[in-house]
């Protein structure tokens, strides 16, 4: 890693045990990690268009069965141009003990795709919560169709249109999404089901080994794909991936802004995140990790991680 | 490859250097310098572009090859020679583009579909010969790294020919009759700069279908955005 030698999250300042310390050099403690050639310094511009959207978010919680963390950070390109973070995430506990996790990535060519990403995350959480409340069988294609339709209705509301217009919704709000429903399966174990539209993706992490849960997009192509699948367009076949999480496994969801620099997980980024996701980090820690500086990787980045709890009572609180 | 060093877009400016370009070659060189200056002011965009400049007449001169313009000195000046061989231009692209993509991938980059900006002020002097290398170049089955070609015609270039060269009708541009050619070149260079600096991601398609009816189980989430 570009000369820093830093491989773990800052402790939060030396004053943690010393009530007399009133100053922590946050600029030094939380300076972004540099990987490879850093991005040249520049002032990060606020998004010029409303509604308000924060530069980064960090979230997490613990339950009897899981600990979760997620972070979403605006990419250097959007900061430079004064454009909003188009990534979004949501992670919600269900009373059944399950976890509902969603990561979305608004398509850069759609001018309001950041709102589309948020709309889809909220819709997925709402839909899955209802299914789990009702104890009915989860219909993944229907979930994705409803997520897609939410964009059509949202666009109609925003535009004051009488009828939803899916084409217009696609033009304005298109977004990828990856969804995980994870339920406990004994101490330290869990079962998960995941589905996606587009190139947002997921892995299981065991030690330093990253195992992708979805095939690479265009794996045999010499070039990057010319286009990306995105809601409100839903592939004709939505087949969920099932995953068993054993003791020590971490389920990780992410957007391509993380997947690209991660690659197959055997490089610097893979090692960095494997080391620091061995256990749930402090809440701001994941956001800080994710905000590493690497010149050509300037997209928004989002990571959401789920750890099955080994003990019945969680020992790590956000 | 354990990890990628990011995504890059190979851009090729393929410029007519036939004699008829003499009156406007200075404008073209000025436009290239403006492009270079603009990219130097936008280092984040420039980091993701690898730029080549090829001049064609009866042969091809590679003025700039796969350059990172942030670290490139002043760009070489285009000049003029005899002939307007489209075939020479497309044959060289057919050789270079797959090799360039391989080279970038060896360096660790993921590579976007290359973009060729083709500028000509006249009709090809090799009719009946340029079409075959062109077809091979843009056939994604035979040439997986087939570029998108944005074609711009000025002066005596015919709209029908420029439409044949552009890989999509909306990628074909012909200067309005009566517009000064130097101005058309300046506009071409400005459009090139804008395209290079802001190369966005396309929306989807393929075998995905738009959701066109309200699903029965749909309910609008209340706490929206």
pLDDT number for residue B33: 85
Alpha helical stretches, state H, A39-164? 76-81, 113-134, 140-159
Residues 6+ apart with CB under 8 A from A18: none
Q: Cβ contacts (< 8 Å) between A153 and chain B: which residues?
A: 214, 218, 220
pLDDT number for residue B213: 66
For the stretch A220-229, pLDDT in tens is: 578 888 777 8
pLDDT number for residue A300: 96
Q: What is the mean pLDDT of residues A167-181?
A: 95
pLDDT number for residue B83: 87
Domains of chain B: 7-223 (3.40.50.410)
Q: Does residue A87 carry a pLDDT above 50?
A: yes
pLDDT number for residue A8: 73
Q: Per-residue confidence at A287, pLDDT binned at 50, 70, 90? A: very high
**Cβ count within 10 A of residue A22:** 7
Q: Give yes or no for B110 touching A (CB within 8 A).
A: yes
pLDDT number for residue B30: 85
CA dihedral A169, A172, A173, A175 (to 10 degrees): 110
DSSP letters for B11-73: EEEEEE-BGGGGGGHHHHHHHHHHHHHHHHH-HHHHTTEEEEEEEESSSEEEEEEEE-TTS--
Higher pLDDT, B183 or A11: B183
Q: What is the mean pLDDT of residues A21-25?
A: 78
DSSP letter assigned to residue A142:
H
Strand partners, A39: none
Q: Which of A50-59, A220-229, A231-240, B49-58 has the lowest mean pLDDT?
A: A220-229
**Cα–Cα distance measured from residue A305 to residue A279, given in angstroms and rounded to the nearest whole number:** 10
Higher pLDDT, A64 or B168: A64
Nearest Cβ partner of A148 from B102, B109, B211? B211
In a 10 Å sphere around its CB, with 0-12 CB exposed, 13-18 middle and 19+ buried, how is residue B142 labelled?
Answer: exposed
pLDDT number for residue B172: 84
Low-confidence ranges of chain B (pLDDT < 50): 1, 200-206, 223-225
Angstroms from B43 CA to nearest CA on chain A: 8
Choose the mutation target among A78, A173, A222, A271 for the interface with B, i.e. most B CBs under 10 Å: A222
Higher pLDDT, A2 or B215: B215
Strand partners, B102: none
Choose the mutation target among A139, A233, A274, A301 for the interface with B, i.e. most B CBs under 10 Å: A233
Interface of A with B in 138-197 (CB under 8 A): 139, 142, 145-146, 148-150, 152-154, 164, 166-167, 170-171, 174, 197
Q: Does residue A91 carry a pLDDT above 60?
A: yes
DSSP letters for A145-210: HHHHHHHHHHHHHHHT-SS--HHHHHHHH-EEEEEEEEEE-STT-EEEEEEEESS-EEEEEETTEE
Token pair of B129, please?
Answer: 């010969």
Q: What's the whole-model pTM score?
A: 0.86
Interface of B with A in 67-106 (CB under 8 A): 98, 101-102, 105
Task: Using CA coordinates, name the residue in chain B closest to A198.
Answer: B204
pLDDT number for residue B210: 62
pLDDT number for residue B137: 97
* Contact: A226, B113; criterion CB under 8 Å: yes
For the stretch A108-165, pLDDT in tens is: 888 899 999 999 999 999 999 999 999 999 999 999 999 999 999 999 988 888 889 9
- SS3 call for A293: strand
Q: Per-residue confidence at A27, pLDDT binned at 50, 70, 90? A: confident
Q: Does residue A245 carry a pLDDT above 80?
A: yes
pLDDT number for residue A318: 47
Task: Using CA coordinates, name the residue in chain A closest to B148.
Answer: A226
Token pair of B221, please?
Answer: 């989430």
Alpha helical stretches, state H, B43-201? 43-46, 86-107, 131-138, 159-165, 181-197
**Cα–Cα distance measured from residue A178 to residue B76, given in angstroms and rounded to the nearest whole number:** 48
Angstroms from B10 CA to nearest CA on chain A: 11
**Cα–Cα distance measured from residue A192 to residue A214, given in angstroms and rounded to the nearest whole number:** 13
Q: Give yes or no for B111 touching A (CB within 8 A).
A: yes
**Cα–Cα distance measured from residue B148 to residue B136, given in angstroms and rounded to the nearest whole number:** 13
Q: Give yes or no for B141 touching A (CB within 8 A).
A: no
């Amino acid at each position: 890693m570009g000369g820093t030698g830093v491989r773990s999250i800052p402790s939060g300042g030396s004053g943690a045990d010393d009530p007399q310390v009133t100053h922590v050099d946050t600029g030094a403690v939380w300076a972004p990690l540099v990987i490879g050639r850093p991005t040249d310094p520049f002032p990060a511009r606020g998004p010029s268009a409303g509604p308000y959207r924060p530069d980064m978010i960090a979230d997490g919680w613990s339950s009897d069965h899981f600990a979760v963390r997620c972070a979403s950070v605006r990419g250097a390109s959007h900061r430079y141009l004064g454009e909003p973070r188009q990534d979004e995430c949501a992670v919600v506990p269900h009373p059944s003990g399950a976890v509902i996790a969603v990561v979305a990535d608004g398509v850069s060519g759609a001018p309001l795709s950041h709102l589309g990403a948020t709309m889809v995350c909220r819709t997925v959480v709402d839909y899955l919560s209802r299914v789990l409340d009702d104890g009915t069988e989860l219909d993944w294609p229907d979930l994705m169709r409803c997520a897609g339709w939410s964009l059509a209705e949202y666009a109609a509301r925003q535009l004051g249109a009488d009828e939803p217009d899916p084409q217009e919704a696609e033009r304005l709000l298109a977004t990828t999404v990856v969804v995980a429903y994870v339920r406990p399966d004994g101490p330290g174990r869990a079962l998960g089901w995941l589905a996606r539209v587009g190139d947002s993706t997921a892995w299981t992490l065991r030690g330093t080994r990253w195992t992708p849960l979805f095939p690479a997009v265009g794996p045999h192509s010499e070039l990057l794909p010319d286009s990306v699948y995105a809601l409100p367009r839903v592939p004709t076949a939505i087949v969920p991936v099932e995953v068993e999480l054993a003791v020590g496994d971490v389920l990780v969801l992410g957007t391509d802004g993380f997947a690209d620099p991660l690659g197959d997980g055997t490089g610097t980024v893979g090692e960095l995140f494997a080391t620091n996701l061995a256990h749930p980090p402090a809440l701001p820690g994941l956001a800080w990790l994710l905000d590493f500086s690497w010149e050509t990787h300037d997209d928004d980045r989002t990571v959401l991680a789920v750890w099955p709890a080994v003990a019945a009572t969680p020992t790590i609180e956000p | 490859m354990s990890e990628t060093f990011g995504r890059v877009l190979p851009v090729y400016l393929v410029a007519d250097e036939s004699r008829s370009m003499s009156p406007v070659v200075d404008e073209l060189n000025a436009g290239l310098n403006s492009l270079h200056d603009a990219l130097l002011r936008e280092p984040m965009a420039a980091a993701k572009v690898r730029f080549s400049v090829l001049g064609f007449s009866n042969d091809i001169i590679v003025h700039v090859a796969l350059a990172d313009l942030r670290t490139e000195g002043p760009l070489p000046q285009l000049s003029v020679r005899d002939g307007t061989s489209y075939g020479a231009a497309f044959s060289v692209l057919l050789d270079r583009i797959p090799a360039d993509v391989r080279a970038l991938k060896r360096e660790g980059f993921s590579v976007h579909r290359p973009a060729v900006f083709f500028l000509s002020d006249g009709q090809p002097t090799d009719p009946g010969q340029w079409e075959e290398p062109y077809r091979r170049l843009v056939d994604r089955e035979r040439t997986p790294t087939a570029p998108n070609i944005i074609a711009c015609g000025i002066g005596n270039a015919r709209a029908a020919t420029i439409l044949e060269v552009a890989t999509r009708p909306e990628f074909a541009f012909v200067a309005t009759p009566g517009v000064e050619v130097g101005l058309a070149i300046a506009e071409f260079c400005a459009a090139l700069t804008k395209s290079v600096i802001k190369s966005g991601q396309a929306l989807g398609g393929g075998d995905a279908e738009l959701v066109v009816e309200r699903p029965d189980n749909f309910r609008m989430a209340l706490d929206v955005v």
